RNA sequence: GCCGAGGUGGUGGAACGGUAUACACGAAGGACUUAAAAUCCUUUGCCCAAAAGGCUUGCGGGUUCAAAUCCCGCCCUCGGUACCA
C-alpha cells in the first residue's frame, strides 16, 4: 500500500455522504440491547454553530459510537427546538417571518451537523414549531389541564418590558430576563401555570441517577425545602389569624412583633385609621421597587407599624404587627414572627425601629451577648414552662403545645413556585383552551388538535398577545354548547416544547398519539444525556416534572427521564465564554477546511476533561492534526496479506488503556494514549490484525479516518458494524522497580516479574551500594511492593 | 455568607496512597532546503557551569516506610445562589 498524503477533506466528505442519514434506529428489534444517547435539542439560529457548541455533540457522538461498538443498538436522534423568543426576536430584527427565519436556520444547522460527521438518525428528526409536533405539545397541556396539573389564576408575575411577555420564575436570573437581560417587573395578571409544586418532594429525589453533584445541588436549592412550623397569631379585634411559617418554633417565646409582606392581603384589613396613610404609602413604594433594588445586599431594612396587634398563641400577650419588605409575599405565608434575639434580620430591624429584643435561648456555657443575635443551639430561658431544656426539645414541646390548642403544626415549605407557561408572544404553540360565556373555560377536544398557529399575524411585541389581533383566529364555537366563543390567545413557553421531545424521538412519525407506550417503554429512560449545565434549573427540572406528571397519569412507567446526565464544560476564548455577541468565537468551518472534522473532534476531546471548563488554544489543533498524519502513515504500512495475529505491546497497551478509560468518559486520556501509541509505532510495519484493532479503538474519536482505513484494510462493511475487540493482554515479562531510601527515589531496577522478594531486595541493595547511597547497617526496615517499589528505611 | 468545581511547568493538561510533570502546545538548537513552509532529531519544572545533589503539585500542619492524592486549619480563582423566615 502506497501512502497518499492524508487528505481529510476528501475522506470526510466521502463518508458523510455514505453514512446512512435515515435508518430508523428507533425501531428496536427483539434481542437488541438498547442505548439511548441524547444531546440537547438544538436551538437553531442564523449565527450557526461555533466550536464551543461542538463540544457536547462531539462527546455524545464519540460515546454513541463506542456503545455501538460494544454491541448496543443506539438511538442517537436529532431535531430542533425552533419555537421561542430568540427565533422570534431574531426574525423581527432581520425583518422576516419567524417561520422563514426558522427554516433557513434549520437548513444551516443541518449542514453544520452533517459536517460534524455525527452518527445521527435523521429519520427521528422533529421540530417543535411544526404542527405535527406542537399538536402533541398541546395534547400534553390538555392532559395536565384535565388532571388538575394546569390551571389559570391571577397572580403577581414577572414581566419583561423589553420582550413584552411574562416569564417563569426560572427565567428570571438575578432580577433580569434570562433572554435579554432586561430588568423584570411585577404585574398582576391572569396566567396559566403548571403545578410543578405538586412534585416538589419527588423532584428532590435523585436516587439511581448519575448526575453531577453541582446540578443536583442547584435543583435542590431551587426547590428549597425547609421544615418548620406554621403558627397562628389571632388578630385582636378581628376573627382572622395571621399564619406565619418558621423554622425556629423553639424561639416562639421570644417573639416581639410580627411582620407582613407589603402585598399581604391582611394589610388593608387590619391597618388602623391613624396609620392608614403611612402604610398605604409604604406599600406603594415597596411595590414600585424593582426586584434588583430589593435584592441588593445589605440593604437597609424598612417598615411601618400597622397600628394593629395580634395575640401570642401561648401567652396571649399583644404583639404589634408591622409591614416590611424584608418579608417576601411569595415565600411561606408572606408573614413572619419577629424574633430579634435569634434571627439576624429581625435583630437589625428591631434595633433600627426600637422594638424589644427578648433572648429565650442561652449558650450552653456563659451568658448571651446582647449586641448580637444568638443563632447557635443552646438552653431555653425566659420561656415559662419550656425553660431548662435544649432548644431542640423545647421546639418540639412548643409545637406540641400549639397543636393541643389548635394554633400550630409542623409543616414543610418549598421555595419552588408553579411554572408559569403562558406567553404574550407569537412564536409558540397556542394554548388549546376556549372561553365560552355560558360554559366558561373549555378544553379544545383532542380530536380538534392541533390548534394551528396562523402565519398571517402582526407579531411585533406590544404587550398584548399577537394572536388576539388576528382577524379570525380567536373566534370559534364552544365545544360544549356550540355557541360562539373565543380562543385563548397566549402561546406556550418554549420550555414546554422541550420538556417532552425525548419521548417523541422514540416514535417520531406517530400521527395517532404523541408516542406509543410500547416505544417509549423500550427506549426510556435516556441512558446518557449531554448538555450545558446552564439548563440545570430550567429544561432539566421541567423535563423531570413532565415525566413525573406523565407517570402519574399512566402514560409512562418510569419517573425520571435521564438516567445519566453529563454536563459538558464551557469553552472559553480569551478568558470568556465563546459567544457570537461578544465576538469571541472560533468558527468550526474554517478549522474543518484546514484540518478536517476528525482533527477538530479530536482536539475538542483532547483539550481537557469534558466536564470541565477549558480555554481554547488556537494551536492545540495542530498536535491532533500531526497525530492524524502520523496515524495515516502507520495505517499505510501494513502487511495486508499476513495471517500473523501477534499484537505488539504498544497496541496492546493502547487497547488496554482505552478499554479502561473510555467507560469512564476520560476522552482526553484516550487521545493521549493513542498519540503515545502512534509515536511508538511510527517505523513499525503492522500486521492486518493489529491495524484493525488500532482502527477500532480510534474510531469513536476520529470516525472518518477509522472508516477509511477500515475500507482500505479490505472491509466492505462499516467499522461501526464491527465489535470492540476482546484481546488477552499478557503481562509483561519484566517490571521496573523504583528503589527508594526513606521514600526518595535513588534508582530503578528492571527485574523479572516473577523474581522473588529477597532477590529483588538484594539486587536493590547492590545497586544502591554501588552508587554509595546506602549503608546497609543503618537499615531499620525494608518495604517491598511487588512489581513497584523497594523502599529502605534508614536511621 | 452558603453550596459546587478548581489551584500541578511558559500554556492546555497526566498521574489505583507507590518513579510527579505522561500527552500536546509553545520555545531553543540542529538536519533537510538556494530559501521558507512542512517534516525529522535533540533539549525544555526550578537552583547549580555541568555532574552529583537539592528543591518543587496555592499556604501551614498532621497521618504514613511513602502524600498532588487521605485528615485538620487557612488563602485564592471560577460558577451558582441568597433578606427563603
The pLDDT score that the predictor gives to residue A293 is 67
The pLDDT score that the predictor gives to residue A292 is 62
- Percent of chain A whose pLDDT exceeds 90: 60
Residue predicted with more confidence, A53 or A289: A53
Give the residue from A697, A589, A675, A691 showing the smallest Cα distance to A629.
A675
ipTM of the complex, rounded to two decimals: 0.93
Instruction: Name the pLDDT band for A639 (thresholds 50, 70, 90).
Output: confident
Q: Mean pLDDT over residues A243-260, rounded? A: 94
Which of A115-124, A169-178, A779-788 has the highest average model confidence (pLDDT)? Answer: A115-124
Instruction: Name the pLDDT band for A297 (thresholds 50, 70, 90).
Output: low
A160-164, A472-476, A487-491: least confidently modelled range = A160-164
Q: Are A762 and A710 in contact (CB under 8 A)?
A: no
Strand B contact with A582 (CB < 7 A): no
The pLDDT score that the predictor gives to residue A202 is 93
Task: Tell me the CA–C1' distance in angstroms for A490 and B49.
Answer: 81
Q: Mean pLDDT over residues A84-94, rounded? A: 88
- Percent of chain A whose pLDDT exceeds 70: 98
Strand B contact with A671 (CB < 7 A): yes
Q: Which residues of A637-664 are buried (b: 16+ CB within 10 A; e: fewer)?
A: ebeeeeeeeebeebbbbbbebbbebbee
* A340-350 confidence digits (pLDDT tens): 999 988 999 99
Q: What is the rounded radius of gyration, in angstroms, for the C-alpha atoms of chain A? A: 34
Task: Tell me the CA–C1' distance in angstroms for A737 and B48.
Answer: 29
* A25-52 confidence digits (pLDDT tens): 899 999 999 999 999 998 888 888 889 9
Helix, strand and coil percent figures for chain A, each rounded to 5: 40, 20, 40
Strand B contact with A48 (CB < 7 A): no
**Bases in strand B with any atom closer than 7 Å to a protein CB:** 3-6, 11-16, 18-20, 22-26, 39-41, 53-55, 65-67, 78-85
Whether the pLDDT of residue A774 is over 80: the answer is no
Cα distance between residue A187 and residue A173, in whole Å: 17
Cα distance between residue A359 and residue A361, in whole Å: 6
Cα distance between residue A110 and residue A374, in whole Å: 61
Cell numbers 454536563 correspond to A567
The pLDDT score that the predictor gives to residue A46 is 80
Fill in the DSSP letter of residue A28.
Answer: P
Nucleic chain B: which protein residues 607-646 of A have CB below 7 A from it? 607-609, 612-615, 617, 619-620, 622-624, 626-627, 629-630
Whether the pLDDT of residue A53 is over 80: the answer is yes
* Closest C1' nucleotide to A624's CA: B24
Strand B contact with A415 (CB < 7 A): yes
Whether the pLDDT of residue A299 is over 80: the answer is no
Q: Which residue is nearest to nucleotide B12 (CA to C1')?
A: A607
Whether the pLDDT of residue A536 is over 90: the answer is no
Q: Mean pLDDT over residues A110-131, rounded? A: 91
Q: Are A192 and A490 in contact (CB under 8 A)?
A: yes
For chain A, give the number of residues: 795
The pLDDT score that the predictor gives to residue A313 is 94
DSSP E strand boundaries for A60-161 = 73-75, 77-80, 121-127, 150-160
Nucleic chain B: which protein residues 235-254 of A have CB below 7 A from it? 245-248
Cell numbers 459536517 correspond to A115
Nucleic chain B: which protein residues 277-296 of A have CB below 7 A from it? 294-295
Task: Tell me the CA–C1' distance in angstroms for A91 and B34.
Answer: 59
Cα distance between residue A32 and residue A73, in whole Å: 6
Whether the pLDDT of residue A162 is over 60: the answer is yes
Please list the residues that pair with A229 across neighbouring strands.
A246, A410
Strand B contact with A570 (CB < 7 A): no
Whether the pLDDT of residue A266 is over 70: the answer is yes
Task: Tell me the CA–C1' distance in angstroms for A40 and B82.
Answer: 30
Whether the pLDDT of residue A461 is over 80: the answer is no
Q: Are A308 and A390 in contact (CB under 8 A)?
A: no
Task: Tell me the CA–C1' distance in angstroms for A763 and B69.
Answer: 30
Q: Mean pLDDT over residues A443-461, rounded? A: 91
* Closest C1' nucleotide to A744's CA: B66
Distant-in-sequence, close-in-space partners of A580: CB < 8 Å, separation ≥ 6: A47, A50
Nucleic chain B: which protein residues 15-44 of A have CB below 7 A from it? none
Strand B contact with A567 (CB < 7 A): no
- CB count in 10 Å sphere of residue A31: 6
Residue predicted with more confidence, A576 or A608: A608
The pLDDT score that the predictor gives to residue A458 is 87
Strands A379-380 vs A440-443: parallel, antiparallel or unpaired: unpaired
* Closest C1' nucleotide to A337's CA: B85
The pLDDT score that the predictor gives to residue A765 is 86
Cell numbers 479490505 correspond to A714
* A488-514 confidence digits (pLDDT tens): 999 999 999 999 999 999 999 999 999
Q: What is the overall mean pLDDT for chain A?
A: 90
Instruction: Tell if the pTM clears 0.90, that is, is over it.
Output: yes
* A377-411 confidence digits (pLDDT tens): 888 999 999 989 998 899 999 999 999 999 999 99
Residue predicted with more confidence, A188 or A244: A244
The pLDDT score that the predictor gives to residue A1 is 46
Strand B contact with A738 (CB < 7 A): yes
Q: Which residue is nearest to nucleotide B83 (CA to C1')?
A: A326
The pLDDT score that the predictor gives to residue A3 is 57
- CB count in 10 Å sphere of residue A84: 25
Q: Mean pLDDT over residues A657-674, rounded? A: 94
Three-class DSSP category at A242 = strand
Strand B contact with A454 (CB < 7 A): no
Amino acid at each position: 500500500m502506497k501512502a497518499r498524503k492524508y487528505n481529510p477533506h476528501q475522506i470526510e466528505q466521502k463518508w458523510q455522504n455514505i453514512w446512512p442519514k435515515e435508518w430508523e434506529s428507533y425501531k428496536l428489534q427483539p434481542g437488541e440491547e438498547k442505548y439511548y444517547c441524547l444531546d440537547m435539542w438544538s436551538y437553531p439560529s442564523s449565527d450557526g454553530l461555533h466550536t464551543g457548541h461542538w463540544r457536547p455533540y462531539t462527546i455524545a457522538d464519540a460515546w454513541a459510537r463506542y456503545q455501538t461498538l460494544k454491541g448496543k443498538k443506539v438511538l442517537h436522534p436529532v431535531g430542533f427546538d425552533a419555537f421561542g423568543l430568540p427565533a422570534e426576536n431574531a426574525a423581527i430584527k432581520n425583518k422576516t417571518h419567524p417561520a422563514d427565519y426558522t427554516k433557513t436556520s434549520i437548513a444551516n444547522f443541518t449542514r453544520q451537523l452533517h459536517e460534524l460527521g455525527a452518527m445521527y438518525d435523521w429519520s427521528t428528526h422533529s421540530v417543535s414549531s411544526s404542527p405535527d409536533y406542537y399538536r402533541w405539545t398541546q395534547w400534553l397541556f390538555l392532559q395536565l389541564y384535565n388532571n388538575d396539573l394546569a390551571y389559570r389564576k391571577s397572580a403577581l408575575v414577572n414581566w419583561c418590558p423589553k420582550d413584552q411577555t411574562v416569564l417563569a420564575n426560572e427565567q428570571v436570573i438575578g432580577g433580569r430576563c434570562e433572554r435579554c437581560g432586561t430588568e423584570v417587573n411585577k404585574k398582576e395578571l391572569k396566567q396559566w401555570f403548571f403545578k410543578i409544586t405538586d412534585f416538589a418532594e419527588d423532584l428532590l429525589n435523585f436516587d439511581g441517577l448519575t448526575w453531577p453533584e453541582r446540578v443536583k445541588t442547584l435543583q435542590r436549592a431551587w426547590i428549597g425545602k425547609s421544615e418548620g412550623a406554621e403558627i397562628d397569631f389571632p388578630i385582636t379585634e378581628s376573627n382572622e389569624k395571621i399564619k406565619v411559617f418558621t423554622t425556629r418554633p423553639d424561639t416562639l417565646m421570644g417573639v416581639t412583633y410580627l411582620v407582613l409582606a407589603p402585598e399581604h392581603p391582611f394589610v388593608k384589613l387590619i391597618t388602623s385609621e391613624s396609620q392608614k396613610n403611612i402604610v398605604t404609602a409604604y406599600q406603594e413604594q415597596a411595590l414600585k421597587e424593582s426586584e434588583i433594588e430589593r435584592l441588593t445586599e445589605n440593604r437597609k431594612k424598612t417598615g411601618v407599624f400597622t397600628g394593629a396587634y395580634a395575640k401570642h398563641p401561648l401567652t396571649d400577650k399583644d404583639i404589634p404587627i408591622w409591614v416590611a419588605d424584608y418579608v417576601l409575599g411569595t415565600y411561606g405565608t408572606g408573614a413572619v414572627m419577629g424574633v430579634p434575639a435569634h434571627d439576624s434580620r429581625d435583630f437589625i430591624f428591631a434595633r433600627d425601629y426600637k422594638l424589644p429584643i427578648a433572648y429565650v435561648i442561652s449558650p450552653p456555657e456563659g451568658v448571651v451577648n446582647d449586641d448580637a443575635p444568638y443563632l447557635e443551639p443552646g438552653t431555653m430561658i425566659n420561656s415559662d414552662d419550656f425553660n431548662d431544656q435544649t432548644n431542640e426539645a423545647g421546639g418540639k414541646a412548643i409545637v406540641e403545645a400549639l397543636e393541643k390548642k389548635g394554633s400550630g403544626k409542623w409543616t414543610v415549605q418549598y421555595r419552588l413556585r408553579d411554572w408559569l407557561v403562558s406567553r404574550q408572544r407569537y412564536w409558540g404553540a397556542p394554548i388549546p383552551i376556549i372561553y365560552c360565556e355560558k360554559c366558561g373555560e373549555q378544553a379544545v377536544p383532542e380530536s380538534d388538535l392541533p390548534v394551528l398557529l396562523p402565519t398571517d399575524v402582526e407579531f411585533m411585541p406590544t404587550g398584548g398577545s399577537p394572536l388576539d389581533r388576528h382577524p379570525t383566529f380567536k373566534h370559534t364555537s364552544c365545544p360544549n354548547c356550540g355557541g360562539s366563543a373565543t380562543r385563548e390567545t397566549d402561546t406556550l413557553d418554549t420550555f414546554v416544547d422541550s420538556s417532552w421531545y425525548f419521548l417523541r424521538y422514540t416514535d417520531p412519525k406517530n400521527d395517532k398519539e404523541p408516542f406509543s407506550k410500547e416505544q417509549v417503554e423500550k427506549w426510556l429512560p435516556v441512558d446518557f444525556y449531554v448538555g450545558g449545565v446552564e439548563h440545570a434549573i430550567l429544561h432539566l427540572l421541567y423535563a423531570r416534572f413532565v415525566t413525573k406528571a406523565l407517570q402519574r397519569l399512566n402514560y409512562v412507567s418510569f419517573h425520571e427521564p435521564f438516567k445519566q446526565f453529563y454536563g459538558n464544560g464551557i469553552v472559553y476564548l480569551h478568558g470568556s465564554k465563546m459567544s457570537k455577541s461578544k465576538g469571541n468565537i472560533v468558527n468550526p468551518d474554517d478549522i474543518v477546511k484546514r484540518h478536517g472534522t476528525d482533527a477538530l473532534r479530536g482536539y475538542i476531546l483532547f483539550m481537557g476533561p469534558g466536564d470541565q471548563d477549558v480555554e481554547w488554544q488556537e494551536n492545540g489543533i495542530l498536535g491532533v492534526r500531526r497525530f492524524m498524519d502520523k496515524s495515516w502513515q502507520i495505517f499505510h504500512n501494513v502487511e495486508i496479506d499476513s495471517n500473523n495475529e501477534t499484537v505488539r505491546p504498544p497496541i496492546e497497551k493502547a487497547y488496554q488503556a482505552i478499554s479502561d478509560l473510555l467507560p469512564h468518559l476520560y476522552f482526553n486520556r484516550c487521545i493521549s494514549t493513542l498519540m503515545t501509541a502512534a509515536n511508538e509505532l511510527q517505523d513499525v510495519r503492522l500486521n492486518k490484525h493489529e491495524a484493525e484493532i488500532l482502527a477500532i479503538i480510534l474510531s469513536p474519536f476520529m470516525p472518518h479516518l477509522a472508516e477509511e482505513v477500515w475500507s482500505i484494510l479490505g472491509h466492505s462493511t462499516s467499522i461501526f458494524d464491527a465489535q470492540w475487540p476482546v484481546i488477552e493482554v499478557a503481562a509483561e515479562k519484566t517490571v521496573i522497580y523504583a528503589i527508594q531510601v526513606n521514600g526518595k527515589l535513588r534508582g530503578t531496577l528492571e527485574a523479572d516479574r516473577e523474581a522473588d522478594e529477597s532477590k529483588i531486595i538484594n539486587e536493590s541493595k547492590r545497586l544502591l551500594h554501588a552508587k554509595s547511597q546506602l549503608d546497609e547497617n543503618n537499615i531499620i526496615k525494608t518495604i517491598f511492593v511487588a512489581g513497584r517499589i523497594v523502599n529502605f528505611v534508614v536511621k
